[in-house]
Amino acid sequence: MQRLILSFALLLSFAGGAAAADLPTYKAPPAPVVPPPTFSWAGPYVGVQTGGEWGSISGPFGNSTLTGFGPYTVDPSGVLFGGYVGYNWQWQSLVFGVEGDLNGAIGAKTTKDNVLWDGLAFYDIGGEQTWTADARLRAGYAIDRLLLYFAGGLAFGDVRTTYANAGLAPYYTETTNRTGWTLGVGGEYAFTNSIVGRVEYRYTDLGSKAFNNAAIGINTYDDPKFTSNAVLVGLSYKLW
Domains in the chain, start-ordered, CATH in brackets?
A: 47-238 (2.40.160.20)
pLDDT at 208: 94
Instruction: Render pLDDT for 129-167 as a digit per residue (tens, 0 to 9).
Output: 999 999 999 999 999 999 999 999 999 999 999 888 888
- Secondary element (H or E) of residue 152: strand 146-165
What dihedral angle (degrees, nearest 10) is formed by the CA atoms of 191, 102, 140, 41?
40
DSSP SS3 for 172: strand
Q: In which band, very low, low, confident or very high, does the pLDDT at 4 lie, cut at 50, 70 and 90?
A: very low
What value does the mean pLDDT take over residues 191-213?
A: 95
pTM, full prediction: 0.80
Which of 22-31, 88-97, 99-108 bottoms out in mean pLDDT, i.e. has the lowest? 22-31
pLDDT of residue 216: 64
The residue ranges of DSSP E strands in 63-108, in sequence order, are: 69-74, 77-91, 94-106
Segment among 8-17, 41-50, 150-159, 228-237 with least mean pLDDT: 8-17
Tell me, what's the pLDDT at 123?
Answer: 83
Q: Which helix (H) or strand (E) holds 217?
A: none
